[in-house]
A and B are shown apart, each in its own frame.
Chain A
Amino acid sequence: MPKVKVPRKSTVIDMTAMCDVASLLLTFFILTATARQPEPLPVDTPSSTVKIKLPTTDIATVTIGEGKVFFGVAGQPVRIRTLERMGERYKIQFTDKEKVRFSLMESFGVPIGQLKQLIALDGDKRNRPGLQNGIPADSVGANPSELREWIYNARYATKELNDKELRITIKGDSDEEYPTVKKVIDILQAQEVNKFSLITSLEGAD
């Protein structure tokens, strides 16, 4: 064998730059991931193959689970205006501080009589299981149900403040019995809201 030694060069690549770029990208993605609000009623939505994404403004979500109905609307000014109108309708006065606290609540489910107490509680105490039992969806005599009033006033507030139609979505638990869902759909149809959306998780097409 010839005794020629091939001069070996070092193959170490300097990874610093790559490391910097990677950590920058990582920081970006972690910061742009919005933190999820704790919801009072965890709901397991059924899956479907539709891929239309949900908008984030002018949207109201009716969450149905365990036979209870929760309601939430997007946008702090809309929440405040809806609360004011509900106060006028049910003759309850809300202070400005309460209105601000209410505007930070993403979703809630209590009859209007208990709403003040709910607003006074702190964030994590509100979401304790068993505390919020749902908005009444049945009409009492000739008076329409509270759920109907909430939806109606949210639509009014959105039209008044943003001049847009409120988009109503239903977020139901997979195991939810159909009659509760039917009640909500009937309330919507009575208000002539015939177009709404169901929230589903992603499913691969079979």
Chain B
Amino acid sequence: MAELDSSGGGGKKKGGKVRSKKQSARVDMTPMVDLMFLLITFFMLTTTLAKPQAMDIAMPDKDEENQDQLQVADTRTMTILLGDKNKLEWYMGSIEDPKTPTPQGFGKEGIRKSILEKVKDVQAATGKGLIVLIKASDKSNYKNLVDILDEIKITNVKTYAIVDITEPEIGLLKRDGVY
């Protein structure tokens, strides 16, 4: 029974002269069960959360002979340059004539807002989706890259690519103090 009854019959009086005064030692199991459920919940949650997630990426085919930049429609292209110290800069169009180069930060209020705006603008202007090119400089780190890819997944941009950064773009980053 749940009550560990070590009294040998509760308050029954023993016959005879020796009468040891035992009290019934009833152990209430409720806290033990509470603890068990806490531990179960803990293990249930930690084993499923411990499995790492995978973020899929598809890169464009790297053609050894053709080292040109991707041919993309400038009016639909947003280029994001990843700079130093968790800062980035983006511009529309091509590097020869960048429109609205804007240094910005990561996160909901930062780059995500800009991407969402541009998705709407490009959709209204050309009727097709936004293309995002991600160019990471040597001073950025892996977390920046993953964060940008994450933002792209959140804002649901369908066409994106990771490409090499070029000298004029590094110049742009330096000019705006992000390199």
- Interface of A toward B, CB cutoff 8 Å: 12-16, 18-19, 22-23, 25-26, 29-30, 32-34, 36, 45-54, 64, 169, 171-179, 181-182, 185-186, 188-190, 192, 194-203, 205-206
Given A26-B40, A50-B53, A196-B57, A206-B107 contact (CB < 8 Å): yes
**Within 8 Å CB of B145, what residues of A?**
178, 181
B56 contacts the other chain (CB 8 A): yes
**Within 8 Å CB of B138, what residues of A?**
177-179
- Choose one: B3, B61, B108, B150; the contact of A50 (CB below 8 Å): B150
- Interface of B toward A, CB cutoff 8 Å: 1-3, 26, 28-30, 32-33, 36-37, 39-40, 43-44, 46-47, 49-62, 82, 107-108, 136-147, 149-150, 153-154, 162
Cβ B44 vs Cβ A29 within 8 A: yes
The chain A residue with its CB closest to the CB of B47 is A33
Task: State the Cβ distance, B48 to closest chain A Cβ, in Å.
Answer: 9
Q: Chain B at the A interface: mostly helix, strand, loop or mixed?
A: mixed
Given A12-B3, A173-B142, A33-B43 contact (CB < 8 Å): yes
Q: How many contacts between A and B, using CB within 8 angstroms?
A: 158
The chain B residue with its CB closest to the CB of A59 is B54
Cβ A51 vs Cβ B143 within 8 A: no
- Choose one: A16, A32, A178, A195; the contact of B57 (CB below 8 Å): A195
Cβ B153 vs Cβ A178 within 8 A: no
Tell me, in angstroms, the Cα distance from A201 to B154 when the chains sit together: 16
- Choose one: B2, B46, B56, B142; the contact of A46 (CB below 8 Å): B142
